[in-house]
């Protein structure tokens, strides 16, 4: 465990609120999986991207309501056992520093606190104050990566991707 992952005691805060991690319908999980290109480095999400550079996924929940969540949150929730509880204050951190990565595991998308996430971003020099949302560098980079993934213009992405995604690349 590295220094930014260690839990910090926060005296004087109210009791921790927990919630049940939602269970996603199988059809939503299958649709989501079709939008991922796994490579040796990360599992790249290739669909909608928000202005912050993170993937967005819209699906119908178990009640039929349309929901939009960050792609890495959907991926994390889809890997959890039914009925698992999560601390409401936890966030998902990208240890790989790739906003389009949806690989759940060490070195990629992991659970942490907001304070741990901010400290990690500070340590890497990724937090530089407020920027206009439309000009956020992460969004610009993520959209460029998605375009390259879809077009197959980066040979390493194309060659490392799983077989079964031929429609993703215009070769």
With respect to residue 5, please indicate whether it lies within any of the assigned structural domains: no
With respect to residue 167, please indicate whether it lies within any of the assigned structural domains: no
Q: In the structure encoding, which two tokens stand for residue 86, read together? A: 């999560």
In the prediction, which pLDDT does 70 show? 94
In the prediction, which pLDDT does 164 show? 45
Structural domain range at position 103: 19-162
d(CA 73, CA 121): 18
d(CA 171, CA 169): 6
In the prediction, which pLDDT does 144 show? 75
Residue located via tokens 């920027």:
131
In the prediction, which pLDDT does 85 show? 85
With respect to residue 46, please indicate whether it lies within any of the assigned structural domains: yes
With respect to residue 84, please indicate whether it lies within any of the assigned structural domains: yes
Mean pLDDT by 10 residues, the chain (171 residues): 45 65 91 92 91 91 93 93 84 88 90 89 71 59 73 57 41 31
With respect to residue 103, please indicate whether it lies within any of the assigned structural domains: yes
The answer to whether 56 and 49 have CB atoms below 8 angstroms apart is yes
With respect to residue 14, please indicate whether it lies within any of the assigned structural domains: no
With respect to residue 78, please indicate whether it lies within any of the assigned structural domains: yes
With respect to residue 10, please indicate whether it lies within any of the assigned structural domains: no
14 CB-contact burial (10 Å; exposed 0-12 / middle 13-18 / buried 19+): exposed
Domain count, the chain: 1
End-to-end CA distance of the chain: 43
């Amino acid at each position: 465990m590295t220094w930014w992952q260690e839990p910090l005691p926060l005296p004087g805060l109210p009791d921790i609120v927990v919630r049940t991690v939602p269970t996603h319908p199988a059809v939503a999980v299958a649709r989501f999986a079709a939008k991922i290109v796994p490579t040796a480095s990360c599992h790249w999400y290739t669909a909608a991207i928000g202005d912050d550079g993170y993937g967005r996924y819209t699906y119908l929940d178990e009640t039929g309501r349309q929901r939009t969540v960050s792609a890495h949150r959907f991926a994390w929730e889809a890997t959890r056992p039914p009925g698992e509880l999560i601390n409401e204050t936890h966030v998902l951190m990208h240890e790989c520093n790739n906003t389009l990565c949806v690989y759940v595991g060490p070195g990629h998308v992991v659970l942490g606190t907001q304070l741990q996430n901010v400290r990690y971003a500070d340590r890497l020099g990724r937090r530089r104050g407020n920027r206009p949302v439309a000009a956020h560098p992460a969004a610009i980079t993520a959209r460029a990566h998605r375009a390259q993934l879809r077009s197959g213009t980066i040979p390493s992405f194309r060659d490392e991707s799983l077989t079964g995604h031929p429609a993703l690349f215009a070769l």
